[in-house]
Amino acid sequence: MVSKGDGLWLAGTWLTWGNDYYMLLMRFNLNAKSVTYTTFGDSSVEIGSGITSTIDGGFALAGRKSHTQNTTVYLVKTDSNGCVQPGCMQAVSV
């Protein structure tokens, strides 16, 4: 979890109805009382396990991808909006 400005940022895992796992990044805007999110991965088994802020104002997310024979550890670097490409965040009703 990272607190930055008026936002609280959390990294974790999103399990879909189809049993696909994605790395999840959520931003809780404390002033506007809104939530936005984005996911990373290719619908195999991506598990989000950590988040930190970076010196350029963005975020680094740690995760792993599980396969039948092995596990790959990886890092996702985002911009200050939590995006790898512009406009990735989606709104959630609260």
Q: Identify the band that residue 91 occupies on the pLDDT scale cut at 50, 70 and 90.
A: confident
Q: Which CA distances in Å does 25 have to 13, 62, 69, 70, 82?
A: 8, 11, 27, 24, 7
What are the sequence ranges of the domains in the chain?
A: 2-92
pLDDT at residue 58, as a whole number: 92
Q: Identify the band that residue 68 occupies on the pLDDT scale cut at 50, 70 and 90.
A: low
- Residues whose CB is less than 8 angstroms from the CB of residue 61 and which lie 6 or more positions away in sequence, other chains included: 11, 23, 25, 40, 48, 50, 51, 75, 76, 78
Model's pTM, two decimal places?
0.81
The average pLDDT across 23-36 equals 91
Q: Identify the band that residue 59 occupies on the pLDDT scale cut at 50, 70 and 90.
A: very high
pLDDT at residue 94, as a whole number: 56
